[in-house]
Amino acid sequence: MRTCRAFIISASPLFVDAITHLLEEEGAEVVAQAKNLEDARPMLGNCEVDAIVVDRNDIQLRDAEVVSHLMDSDREQQIVLLTIAGNEMVVYHKEKLENVTPHDLVKAICVKEAKRVS
Protein backbone atom coordinates (compact mmCIF):
# COMPACT_ATOMS: atom_id res chain seq x y z
CA MET A 1 0.00 0.00 0.00
CA ARG A 2 1.32 3.43 -1.01
CA THR A 3 1.75 6.12 1.62
CA CYS A 4 -0.79 8.95 1.51
CA ARG A 5 0.94 12.12 0.32
CA ALA A 6 -0.12 15.57 1.51
CA PHE A 7 0.67 19.16 0.58
CA ILE A 8 0.15 21.89 3.22
CA ILE A 9 -0.77 25.51 2.50
CA SER A 10 -0.26 27.85 5.44
CA ALA A 11 1.81 30.89 6.36
CA SER A 12 1.86 29.73 9.98
CA PRO A 13 4.93 27.67 10.93
CA LEU A 14 3.02 26.42 13.98
CA PHE A 15 0.18 25.10 11.80
CA VAL A 16 2.62 23.46 9.36
CA ASP A 17 4.64 21.83 12.13
CA ALA A 18 1.55 20.58 13.98
CA ILE A 19 -0.16 19.15 10.89
CA THR A 20 3.09 17.62 9.61
CA HIS A 21 3.63 15.92 12.96
CA LEU A 22 0.05 14.62 13.12
CA LEU A 23 0.11 13.31 9.54
CA GLU A 24 3.49 11.60 9.96
CA GLU A 25 2.31 9.95 13.19
CA GLU A 26 -0.53 8.41 11.15
CA GLY A 27 1.82 7.22 8.40
CA ALA A 28 1.19 9.98 5.85
CA GLU A 29 3.96 11.89 4.10
CA VAL A 30 4.06 15.67 3.74
CA VAL A 31 5.69 16.21 0.36
CA ALA A 32 5.68 20.02 0.24
CA GLN A 33 4.44 23.19 1.86
CA ALA A 34 3.56 26.64 0.54
CA LYS A 35 2.70 29.85 2.36
CA ASN A 36 -0.18 30.86 0.06
CA LEU A 37 -2.25 29.82 -2.95
CA GLU A 38 -0.07 31.70 -5.41
CA ASP A 39 3.05 29.83 -4.26
CA ALA A 40 1.20 26.52 -4.11
CA ARG A 41 -0.16 26.38 -7.66
CA PRO A 42 3.17 25.95 -9.51
CA MET A 43 4.50 23.60 -6.84
CA LEU A 44 1.43 21.36 -7.08
CA GLY A 45 2.14 20.79 -10.76
CA ASN A 46 5.35 19.03 -9.76
CA CYS A 47 3.96 16.97 -6.86
CA GLU A 48 1.89 13.81 -6.71
CA VAL A 49 -0.43 14.40 -3.78
CA ASP A 50 -3.55 12.74 -2.45
CA ALA A 51 -4.62 15.69 -0.32
CA ILE A 52 -4.04 19.40 0.01
CA VAL A 53 -4.42 20.65 3.58
CA VAL A 54 -5.26 24.35 3.73
CA ASP A 55 -5.08 26.47 6.87
CA ARG A 56 -8.61 27.84 6.86
CA ASN A 57 -7.72 30.65 9.29
CA ASP A 58 -4.93 31.82 7.02
CA ILE A 59 -6.78 32.08 3.73
CA GLN A 60 -8.43 35.37 2.76
CA LEU A 61 -10.65 33.78 0.11
CA ARG A 62 -13.96 32.00 0.56
CA ASP A 63 -13.85 28.19 0.58
CA ALA A 64 -15.30 27.91 -2.93
CA GLU A 65 -12.59 30.16 -4.34
CA VAL A 66 -9.85 28.13 -2.63
CA VAL A 67 -11.26 24.91 -4.01
CA SER A 68 -11.61 26.29 -7.53
CA HIS A 69 -7.99 27.50 -7.43
CA LEU A 70 -6.74 24.07 -6.39
CA MET A 71 -8.99 21.66 -8.29
CA ASP A 72 -8.21 22.57 -11.87
CA SER A 73 -6.13 19.48 -12.62
CA ASP A 74 -7.31 16.05 -13.75
CA ARG A 75 -5.92 14.40 -10.63
CA GLU A 76 -8.10 12.83 -7.99
CA GLN A 77 -7.38 14.51 -4.70
CA GLN A 78 -8.92 15.82 -1.53
CA ILE A 79 -8.92 19.45 -0.46
CA VAL A 80 -9.05 19.71 3.33
CA LEU A 81 -9.79 23.14 4.79
CA LEU A 82 -8.73 22.88 8.40
CA THR A 83 -8.84 25.10 11.43
CA ILE A 84 -7.08 23.98 14.55
CA ALA A 85 -8.79 26.55 16.79
CA GLY A 86 -12.29 25.25 16.10
CA ASN A 87 -11.26 21.61 15.76
CA GLU A 88 -13.18 21.26 12.51
CA MET A 89 -12.45 20.61 8.87
CA VAL A 90 -14.22 20.82 5.54
CA VAL A 91 -13.28 18.16 2.98
CA TYR A 92 -13.79 18.53 -0.77
CA HIS A 93 -13.27 15.38 -2.78
CA LYS A 94 -12.44 15.32 -6.46
CA GLU A 95 -12.90 12.15 -8.42
CA LYS A 96 -13.04 11.78 -12.18
CA LEU A 97 -15.32 9.02 -13.44
CA GLU A 98 -15.56 7.85 -17.03
CA ASN A 99 -18.35 5.91 -18.73
CA VAL A 100 -20.74 6.98 -16.01
CA THR A 101 -24.09 5.38 -15.44
CA PRO A 102 -27.21 6.81 -13.80
CA HIS A 103 -26.23 4.80 -10.71
CA ASP A 104 -22.87 6.65 -10.61
CA LEU A 105 -24.71 9.99 -10.69
CA VAL A 106 -27.03 9.03 -7.85
CA LYS A 107 -24.09 7.67 -5.84
CA ALA A 108 -22.19 10.96 -6.29
CA ILE A 109 -25.21 13.04 -5.31
CA CYS A 110 -26.02 10.88 -2.30
CA VAL A 111 -22.46 10.58 -1.01
CA LYS A 112 -23.47 11.92 2.42
CA GLU A 113 -26.08 9.17 2.78
CA ALA A 114 -23.57 6.53 1.66
CA LYS A 115 -21.10 7.68 4.32
CA ARG A 116 -23.74 7.32 7.02
CA VAL A 117 -24.38 3.72 6.00
CA SER A 118 -20.68 2.79 5.95
Q: Is the pTM of this model over 0.75?
A: no
Q: What is the rounded CA–CA span in Å between residue 80 and residue 111?
A: 17
- How many domains are contained in the chain? 1
CA–CA dist 4, 86 (Å, integer): 25
Supply the DSSP string of 31-78, one letter for each residue.
EEEESSHHHHHHHHTT---SEEEEETTT--S-HHHHHHHH--SSS-EE
pLDDT in tens, 46-105: 888 888 888 887 666 565 666 666 665 566 677 887 877 777 777 776 666 778 788 777
**Domain CATH for 47:** 3.40.50.2300
Given this model, what pLDDT does residue 17 score? 93
Q: With a cut of 50, say whether residue 11 has pLDDT above it.
A: yes
More confidently predicted of 2 and 108: 108
Confidence of residue 2 (pLDDT cuts 50, 70, 90): low
Task: Please give the residue range of the domain that contains residue 24.
Answer: 5-117
Give the Cα separation of 54 and 35 in Å (integer): 10
